[in-house]
Amino acid sequence: MAGDFHRVACADCENEQVVFGKAASVVSCAVCGTTLATPTGGEAEFHGEIVETVEAR
């Protein structure tokens, strides 16, 4: 189980960014700096809309 990647749409600027599902550190939007995901120790908590989930291979 390698984990999934999620394409998350930023709530503030609609930038879409691919974020690892089990991100170990805070992921910020590359455009506006809004927090897109925060680590929880397992599956990260996402703050934008998950547009697409891509299974890692």
Regarding 35 and contact with Zn ion (CB under 5 A), the answer is: no
Question: Residues binding Zn ion: what is the number (CB under 5 A)?
Answer: 8
Question: Is 5 annotated in some ligand binding site?
Answer: no
Per the CB < 8 A criterion, the answer to whether 19 and 10 are in contact is: no
Regarding 12 and contact with Zn ion (CB under 5 A), the answer is: yes
In the list 5, 7, 15, 28, the residue contacting Zn ion (rule: CB under 5 A) is 15
What stretches of 1-57 adopt beta strand conformation (E)?
4-9, 16-20, 27-28, 35-38, 45-46, 49-55
Question: Is 13 annotated in some ligand binding site?
Answer: yes
Per the CB < 8 A criterion, the answer to whether 34 and 44 are in contact is: no
Tell me which residues touch Zn ion (CB under 5 A): 10, 12-13, 15, 29, 31-32, 34
